Chain A
Amino acid sequence: MIHLPVLKAEDRKHEIDPANAPKEDLRDEIFQLEKEGEWIVQRVPEPYMELTTKYGRMKKIPVEKTWHHKSCGQCGHIPGYSSSIFWLNRAFGLDYHDPTDQTSCTAWNYYASATSNPAAQAAVAMRNFAAAYEVGYFPIIHCGTSFGHYKEVRHALVHQPKLRRQVKAIMEKLGKPFVIPEEIVHYSEWVLAMKDRIAERQVIDMSMITATVHPACHYHKLIEEDAIYDKEIYGAQRTAVITGTLQALGINVADYSTWFDCCGFGFRHILVSRDFSRSFSVQRKIEVMIEEANPDITVTHDTGCVTTLDQSQFAGRAHGKKVGLPVMADSQIAALAMGAHPYKVLQLHWHNTDNKAFLEKLGIDHKQKWAEFEAEVSQIKDGKKEYMTWEDAK
């Protein structure tokens, strides 16, 4: 026993006082602008759950009446993210909306220095918010790029009257209401808010699983005051999303030294220097995780991060690197825990890194599951059905 006049890290108490938060609570301004007739604020529909943000303020997370904001590039790579979200909503009997009129947020262009002007950027965001408002559903976002971008757009709109006027004029031309959501919510926040309900319905034991977690840069580094933190998770020194969900499912979350680093996607590297992305992802993330934590899986929450961590490992494999770590989103793990089909719902066949050993460890017969999936595909091939339905995915 060492007796020192210095506390051990676990005994040091970090007190969070929302009254002394270093950043403004943008929602105060948003509601004030509504009072002044500047815009409509779309309230988070009830019932909602509340989670604590970085500086101790509460954030409302809608349970249902959610409007599924898609990720243009990433939904194609990891379609199981969205389908797992839909499956979870259906399993709980929740009302959600899968819109067909969402436009790209266009923030992807940031990565290649190809952004348009601020008014156009903000108008695209407000057009999507209006689309959600018009059908009476509340937008939730899983794409980290869109999520970070919308938070920045909201900040700019609150603080720049000229920009508000420009965007309002555009919305009037489009015949759309000028509306801003009360909260900008990420799907991993929804999954975290639902974690106890998910755990109650858990049918796959995951207590033998060790996972590493990668939090997305756009989630917790941009407008960081809006991210969710919990004193019980890393003493509120790291975001609670993903980790809180995995712990509720009984998964052992293991630490690794490069957890704060980017997945490799970069804010532009994936477009302009893809080899760098691959190298970074393999050498700074996957190899470090394997070396330091020897996990069964790594879990993240931005479709871009899932894609980069998963689909960079082939390059490492070609160079004889120590790779082969399955990568999934928190929504996929949550759905799997509740018994979702690994191929029909999680769509794990789209993942590049082999995840069969992971499924075997969970006691899931992946060969049988794959046969079930192929049987569905055969029926589509044979023209017996046009596509798979939610009934087929049960």
Chain B
Amino acid sequence: MASENIIIIGGGPTGLEAARGIADLGYKAILIEKRERLGGNPDEGSYAALTPDLGDAEEAMDKMRNAVLNNPNVEILVNTSVIGAEGELGNFKVKAETNGKAIDIEGGAVILATGFQHFDPGRETQKYGYYEHDDVITLVDAEKMFKAKNFVRPSNGEKPKSVAFIQCVGSRDRQIGNEYCSKVCCGVSSKQSIEVRHYCPDAKIYIFYIDMRMYGYWENEIYWPAQEKHKVNYIKGMATEIIKKGDHLIVKGEDTTLRRPMEVPMDMVILAVGMEPSVGTKEMADVFGVQKNKFGFIETIEGPMNTVSTNVEGVFAAGACTGPADLEDSISAAGAAAMKSIGAVRKLTVTA
């Protein structure tokens, strides 16, 4: 007898939304998360505000968590790691370890929602100096500081007088092999530049970019307000190196509009780190025999009209485990995966 339960691996926004959708449709979702808390990257990275509306990230995640926590149609397994899988559509058996104990989980279909990890700027070594200079931080570090409501220079605890965002760190970079746009960083940097202005009303704020990719309504929601209302300077150019000189950082690079090299002193630099497949994404792709693309993200196989089906029947993937995705993409894909997975198992049970 085929199972109608849907196994969801990953308890971030995508997994939470898929579980909620499946439960709302009257089916049972089994949500597996290897951390002890649900919430994924927004929770683990202590996100302060969401892009583009600057809504409180914790409130948003609480709302998502609450939708599944006391839901009779959702079984939640935290501290649980999937270590093996067998079976096929209608009869998947997933082997997992939960709190040191081996368990078997059965379901008719699987949704992989294992997400992304932030690019480690140390991979670019001397280019960005993240491991050498206290005042070089990442978007994730900045989120943590905003959440703590204390945005200062890590080196001396003083408010920065000048802050630069460097775009495309670990994205659109053939040299390191990430030949893709991470999609969200331009929006997140613009959002964060507005937050920096809140904490540092007199600071000079710059965003150094290759080209700004402001999808859909982000153009009016954050890009123009950042410039017109919050006086953020967007400089078209590539930063090639960040060094320290005295108490300041120096951003070296090229201003491509003015066609000349630039060396700009800064108090703080925020690296707009891109997305890479998470360790969990790569591991789960191997466990389920799901095809990955050359970057390690899970490959969906039917092009733009079906963004969640994989090469393994009954195994679906949603959100940033399939490639760079913003929250809107991830939540939409979660809904699609919920629908497709239920559709797949229902065809079996109805036929039977």
Known contacts: A237-B131, A257-B245, A292-B245. The answer to whether A8 contacts B154 by CB under 8 A is yes
Does A314 make an interface contact (CB < 8 A)? no
Interface residues, chain A, CB within 8 Å of chain B?
2, 4-9, 12, 14-15, 22-23, 54, 224, 229, 234-238, 257-260, 292
Structural contact, B132 and A237, CB atoms closer than 8 A? yes
Residue among A2, A5, A15, A260 making CB contact with B126, cutoff 8 Å: A260
Residues A257 and B130 in contact, CB atoms below 8 Å apart? no
Q: Which A-B residue pairs are the 4 nearest by beta carbons?
A: A14-B122, A5-B144, A2-B157, A22-B177
Most chain B CB atoms below 10 A, which of A2, A6, A8: A6
Given contacts A9-B131, A237-B125, contact A260 B177 (CB under 8 A): no
Q: Assess whether A5 is in contact with B244, with CB atoms less than 8 Å apart.
A: no
Complex CA gap A23/B176 in Å reads: 7
Q: Contacts A9-B131, A238-B126 given; indicate if A4 touches B136 (C-beta within 8 A).
A: no
Q: Which of chain B's residues has its CB closest to A258's CB?
A: B243
Contact size range, B: 20 to 34
Q: How far is the CA of A375 from the CA of B125 in the complex (A)?
A: 50
Q: Is the CB of A6 within 8 A of B177?
A: no
Asked if B156 is an interface residue, CB under 8 A from chain A, the answer is yes
- A60 and B250 CA atoms in complex are apart in Å by 37
Asked whether, in the complex, the Cβ of B46 is within 8 Å of the Cβ of A5, the reply is yes
**Which of A9, A22, A260 has most B Cβ within 10 Å?**
A9
Q: Kindly state the separation between the CA atoms of A2 and B241 in the bound complex, as whole angstroms.
A: 27
Task: Collect the chain B residues with CB atoms within 8 Å of residue A292's CB.
Answer: 245
Interface pair A9/B145, CB less than 8 Å apart: no
Q: Are A5 and B243 in contact (CB under 8 A)?
A: no
With both chains docked as a complex, state the minimum distance between the C-beta of A257 and any C-beta of chain B, in angstroms: 4
List of A residues within 8 angstroms of B178 by Cβ? 22
B147 within 8 Å of A (CB atoms): yes
Docked Cα-Cα span, A224 to B177, in Å, equals 14
Within 8 A of A (CB), among B120-144: 120, 122-123, 125-126, 129-134, 136-137, 141, 144
> Is A6 a contact partner of B154 (Cβ separation < 8 A)?
yes
Please name all residues of chain B whose beta carbon is closer than 8 Å to the beta carbon of A237 when the two chains form the complex. Answer: 122, 125-126, 129, 131-132
- Hey, which chain B residues are within 8 Å of A234, CB to CB? 131-132
Asked if B150 is an interface residue, CB under 8 A from chain A, the answer is yes
**Complex A-B: 25 CB contacts under 8 Å:** A2-B156, A4-B152, A4-B154, A5-B144, A6-B144, A6-B145, A6-B154, A7-B141, A9-B130, A9-B131, A9-B133, A9-B136, A12-B131, A14-B131, A22-B177, A224-B125, A234-B131, A235-B132, A236-B122, A237-B126, A237-B129, A237-B132, A257-B245, A257-B250, A260-B243
Specify which chain A residues have a CB less than 8 angstroms from the CB of B157 in the assembled complex: 2, 4
CA distance A347 to B41 in the complex (A): 60
- Chain B proximity of A261: nearest CB distance (Å): 9
Confirm or deny: B305 has a beta carbon within 8 angstroms of a beta carbon on chain A.
no
- Interfacial chain A residues near B176, Cβ < 8 Å: 22
Nearest chain A CB to B268 CB, angstrom units: 11
Q: Is the C-beta of B350 less than 8 angstroms from some C-beta in chain A?
A: no
- Which of the residues A6, A14, A224, A257 comes within 8 Å of B244, measured between beta carbons? A257
Contacts of A54 in B (CB 8 A): 125
Which residues in A have their C-beta under 8 angstroms from that of B148? 4-5
Note all chain A residues with C-beta closer than 8 A to B156.
2
Residue of A nearest to B249 (CB): A257
Q: Give Cα A229 to B137, complex, Å.
A: 23
Cross-chain contact B122 with A5 (CB below 8 angstroms): no
A224 CB contacts on chain B under 8 angstroms: 125
Further pairs besides A8-B154, A12-B130: 9, Cβ < 8 Å: A2-B154, A5-B145, A9-B133, A12-B131, A22-B123, A22-B177, A54-B125, A237-B132, A260-B243
Contacts of A8 in B (CB 8 A): 134, 154
CA distance A2 to B145 in the complex (A): 12
Residues in chain A near residue B145, CB distance under 8 A: 4-6
A-side contacts of B126, CB under 8 Å: 237-238, 260
Distance in angstroms between the alpha carbons of A65 and B134 in the assembled complex: 45
Which chain A residue lies CB-closest to B144?
A: A5
Contacts of B132 in A (CB 8 A): 9, 234-235, 237
CB nearest to A8 among chain B residues? B134
- Chain B 171-215 against A: per-residue CB contact (8 Å), 1 yes, 0 no? 000001110000000000000000000000000000000000000
- Distance to closest chain A CB from B304 (angstroms): 28
Once the chains bind, are B137 and A6 in contact (CB under 8 Å)? yes
Collect the chain A residues with CB atoms within 8 Å of residue B177's CB. Answer: 22-23
Across-interface contacts of A238 in B (CB, < 8 A): 125-126
Most chain B CB neighbours (cut-off 10 Å) among A2, A7, A15, A22: A2
Q: Are A260 and B122 in contact (CB under 8 A)?
A: no
- Interfacial chain A residues near B244, Cβ < 8 Å: 257
Name the CB-closest residue of B to A4: B154
With CB as the reference atom, state the residue of chain A lying closest to B156: A2
**B46: which A residues are within 8 A, CB to CB?**
5
CB neighbours of A12 from chain B (8 A): 122, 130-131
> Please, which residues of chain A bring their CB within 8 A of the CB of B133?
9
Q: Which of B125, B129, B157, B178 has the most CB of A within 10 A?
A: B125
